[in-house]
């Protein structure tokens, strides 16, 4: 039986792997970018680095991490940290394009443009999350358990709400969030957002 446990620093490589293998609207994104680590450097590892206390993994019987949830309880503070401390260490690895045109260049630009005040939902829904599960974990209720674990901790901390953004092509994820009681929020073209209040 798979189990949920708190994140450990030794899970870092697994976060990169799981993030990449689920990043293309839930499908494997390996090889889409010139550097697979870009996915994890944007959407998984910085959260575990900044908030290991808001990160959990699904561990298989053989000890592998096969899913995770990572989050911040303060989107604005996280964006400041990402801009000032996390992304500067990666700028040599991911040079900025003058005019981002490819998917990879636009994703790198996303790293360069993170800043407080840019997220329209952070005032009403201060927390946000990223959750990814490998196919072998799905359909066992583990996603729901991960979400509930995070929600319980955010509620304990007095956080009033949480939001998330996702690729609208990932229709399975959208249905999952709606089953959990999340409601659609306004989103930029090509995006989809959900929110929940505690």
Rounded mean pLDDT of 6-29?
97
Residue-wise pLDDT for 77-94, tens only, equals 999 999 999 999 999 999
Q: Name 58's bridge partners.
A: 4, 67
**Count of CB atoms situated within 10 Å of the CB of 34:** 9
Domains and CATH numbers, the chain: 3-197 (3.40.630.30)
Is there a contact between 168 and 191 (Cβ–Cβ < 8 Å)?
A: yes
Sheet holding 127-133, edge to edge: 3-6, 55-59, 65-72, 127-133, 161-166, 192-197, 183-185
DSSP 3-state assignment of 157? coil
Distance CA 103, CA 29 (A): 12
Residue-wise pLDDT for 126-163, tens only, equals 999 999 999 988 788 999 999 999 999 999 999 999 99
Cα atoms in the Cβ-side hemisphere of radius 13 Å centred on 81: 13
Q: Where does residue 54 rank: exposed (0-12), middle (13-18), buried (19+ CB within 10 A)?
A: buried
Whether the predicted pLDDT of 62 surpasses 90: yes
Q: What is the pTM of this model?
A: 0.95
Distance CA 145, CA 149 (A): 6
Q: Of 136, 150, 140, 144, whose CA–CA distance to 173 is shortest?
A: 144
């Amino acid at each position: 039986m798979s189990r949920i446990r708190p994140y450990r620093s030794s899970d870092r490589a697994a976060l990169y792997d799981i993030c990449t293998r689920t990043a293309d609207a839930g499908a494997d994104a390996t090889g889409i970018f010139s550097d697979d680590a870009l996915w994890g450097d944007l959407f998984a590892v910085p959260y575990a680095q900044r908030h290991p206390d808001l990160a959990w993994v699904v561990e298989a019987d053989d000890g592998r991490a096969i899913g995770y949830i990572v989050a911040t309880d303060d989107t604005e503070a996280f964006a400041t940290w990402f801009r000032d401390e996390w992304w500067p260490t990666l700028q040599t690895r991911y040079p900025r394009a003058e005019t981002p045109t490819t998917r990879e260049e636009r994703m790198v630009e996303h790293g360069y443009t993170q800043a407080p005040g840019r997220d329209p939902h952070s005032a009403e829904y201060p927390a946000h999350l990223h959750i990814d599960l490998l196919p072998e974990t799905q359909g066992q209720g583990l996603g729901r358990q991960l979400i509930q674990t995070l929600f319980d901790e955010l509620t304990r901390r007095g956080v009033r709400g949480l939001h998330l953004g996702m690729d609208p092509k990932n229709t399975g994820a959208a249905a999952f969030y709606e089953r959990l009681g999340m409601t659609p929020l306004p989103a930029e073209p090509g995006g989809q957002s959900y929110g929940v209040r505690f």
